[in-house]
Amino acid sequence: MADSVDIEKAEERRLEEAPSQTSTEHKFGPDIDLTTFHERVAGRLVVDPEEARIEFGDEIASRLKLSRDRKKVLWPQPTDDPEDPQNWSDGRKAMQLFIVTVAAVIPDFDSGVGIAALFALAKQYDTTTGVINNLTSNWSIFLLGACSPLYLQTIFHSYAVFALAFMVGCTFAPNLKTFAGAFRPFTEFTKSRLTRRYILLAMRCLTAFFGYVPTLSGLYVVTDLYPFHLQARKLNLWTMGFIIAPFLSPFAFGFLVARADWRWSYGVASLYGAFVVFMISFFGEETLYDRSVQPIPPRPGKSLSSRVATLVGITGGRMGKYRPTLLNGLLSHVDCIWRPHLLSVLVFEGILFGFGVGINVTNAVFLGTPPPVGYGFSQYGIAAGYATPIVAVVIGELVGRYTNDWIQNASIRKHNGVFEAEYRLWACYIAIPLYICGFVLLGASFQNHMSVGALVMGWGIAQVAIMINTVAIYAYCNDCFPKQQGEISALINLSRALGGFAVPFFQVPWAESYGALEVFGCEAAIVSGLFLLIVPALQVKGADLRVSASIIRMLWALNVVS
């Protein structure tokens, strides 16, 4: 009896000394599939090689592939296949990141053209800037995200072509009547001027609807190409593309519209879309690599026929047997969004980013409207004003790049070589104070007609905050759901669109009635309240929520639960 007790105590001591090694080997065994292991333990990664040896044991740790400096474990684990995107050369990866970044610029860039032409459109069609905003910019912003879950990623190139075609249609329509003439079935029922305006709305919104696929595909590409410890840095670059996009067109085309017909701005935007289609067609590569399928399906060849088949969707159709069905893809969005840790950050990011969208659309009105509501700037002054957020986004990219890397590395050191997704949220603590300062200063500038320097500082600080926070949310959600990048990208995009499309409807009337300081101050207060309610709670309980969700998903995959 005494011998039995001694044996039990010895076993308990052994478990206390090496708990993670025993539990890991017991759960997964020596035949663990390392290529998909990061998906099974979503949100918690062993990054330090020494800690990996403790947790996994010598046999499994010896099979782990490390970074070039031998200081980090690579997740996902690359295969031995040279065509595995994780094994591509740095130049080949950089080219694909460049393509998906310039492609991500298209939708918001095209949407922002309407901001540059706002006063010109209102003058030509004898209406107000508010009507033009409501009929074009606001609803196109809504469709940029509202239909995100319906996109089919396999025809990425086709969507870009459709978006280009509709943008060309906007460019060459000489007037609203001609615009309506392309849709004769609608004009047969009614000839009203209002209907023609809504046909214009349809053309602009169709451009937005088809143009947003590159933005959704970026998260796929980044995670296909780069290991975990580089993903936040690369996400920073890709995110900069679509955050800076809505400011580029008002800045560049504001000067153009001041000297030429507003259609030239749509024409130049169409040329940019054509450049992106060219880059995708001739230099884009499929980065999807089916690690979870055994044997791994062969990748598309490099011949001309293979490239054409990939571009038009034939290759995607052939690979359909390895992919979820359309119904499963849609249900997967539901499976993600009900998770409390995802739903809460979607609400937080949607409102934060949405108020930033409102600034972009309505600042043209504030800057161009005569006092006491606005500054009464000329077309040149309005265009120059949009240089502020462009510079701010670049600053935000630089700050975010080094901040996220520092948070990641410091967290790994502090937690014995292990990284958990909730550590990404520390960047929000930097973003929110900047957000409050920027919004309050911007509102005070408009209301009290402070100097242009105050206006620039307020707008710039707010945009830096949005950039930092958005990257942190993308990285956090991607870490929590490493196998569902499409769903995550679509849902974040949906939350941003729902949070932002309606803001221009009420921002200017509210400011005219009660002052811009109250408007921007209330918006900053709302975002601050959401931050206090959501982010600290996730940092405390987020790991428990992730683990419970992972267990449910694992049991479902093993048919333990229905």
CA-CA-CA-CA torsion for 187, 190, 194, 200, nearest 10 degrees? -10
Residue 138 near residue 502, CB atoms below 8 Å: yes
480 Cα distance to chain centroid: 15
If you search the block for the tokens 């602009």, which residue do you land on? 204
Q: Give the pLDDT band (50/70/90) at residue 353.
A: very high
Tell me the pLDDT of the chain averaged across its residues. Answer: 78
pLDDT of the residue at 90: 93
Mean pLDDT of 413-419: 91
Considering only CA atoms, give the Rg of the chain: 26
Among 40-49, 111-120, 141-150, 525-534, name the most confident range: 525-534
Under CATH, domain 326-561 is a member of which superfamily? MFS general substrate transporter like domains (1.20.1250.20)
Q: Do the beta carbons of residue 159 and residue 211 sit within 8 Å? A: yes
Whether the CB-CB separation of 239 and 467 falls below 8 Å is answered with yes
Least confident of 48-62, 160-174, 523-537: 160-174
- For 45, the enclosing helix (H) or strand (E) is strand 44-46
Instruction: Kindly state the average pLDDT of the residues 187-195.
Output: 44
Comparison of pLDDT for 173 and 528, the residue scoring more: 528
Residue 435, pLDDT > 90, answer yes
Return the number of other C-beta atoms located less than 10 Å from residue 75's C-beta.
24
Element (H, E) at 46: strand 44-46
Secondary element (H or E) of residue 531: helix 516-557
Instruction: Say which residue, 545 or 326, is predicted with more confidence.
Output: 545
Distances (CA, A) of 24 to 14, 56, 79, 216, 223: 14, 6, 22, 35, 25
483-522 tens-digit pLDDT: 888 888 888 888 887 887 778 778 878 888 888 899 999 9
pLDDT-based confidence at residue 394 (cuts at 50, 70, 90): very high
Residue 459 CB: number of other CB atoms within 10 A?
25
Return the pLDDT at 553.
52
Q: Do domains 91-323 and 326-561 have the same CATH topology?
A: yes
Q: Which two tokens stand for residue 187?
A: 């004009």
Burial state string for 237-251 with b = 16 or more CB within 10 A and e = fewer than 16 = bbbbbbbbbbbbbbb
- Between CA 462 and CA 432 the distance in angstroms is 9
pLDDT band at 13 (very low <50, low <70, confident <90, very high): very low
Give backbone dihedrals phi and psi of 73, rounded to 5 degrees, phi first. -80, 135
Distance CA(195)–CA(32), nearest Å, equals 62
Q: Looking at the domain that runs over 91-323, which CATH code has it been given? A: 1.20.1250.20
Whether 114 has a pLDDT exceeding 80, the answer reads no
Ranges 40-44, 140-144, 221-225: which has the least confidence: 140-144
Could you write out the DSSP letters of every residue in 398-441? HHHHHHHHHHHHHHHHHTTTEEEGGGGGHHHHHHHHHHHHHHHH
Query: Average pLDDT of 366-389?
Result: 82
Q: What is the pLDDT of residues 439-479, one digit of tens each?
A: 999 999 888 888 888 989 999 999 999 999 999 999 999 99
Q: How confident is the model at residue 116 (pLDDT cuts 50, 70, 90)?
A: confident
Q: What is the pLDDT of residue 430?
A: 95
Helices (H), 260-386: 263-283, 304-311, 314-318, 326-337, 340-368, 379-385
Query: Residue 16: which pLDDT band, with cuts at 50, 70 and 90?
Result: very low
Residue 113: both structure tokens together: 């053209």
Domain ranges in the chain are: 31-77, 91-323, 326-561
pTM over 0.85: no
Helices within 18-69 (DSSP H only)? 19-28, 37-40, 49-56, 58-61
User: pLDDT tens digit string along 256-313?
Assistant: 887 877 778 888 888 888 898 888 888 888 888 877 777 777 777 777 777 777 777 6
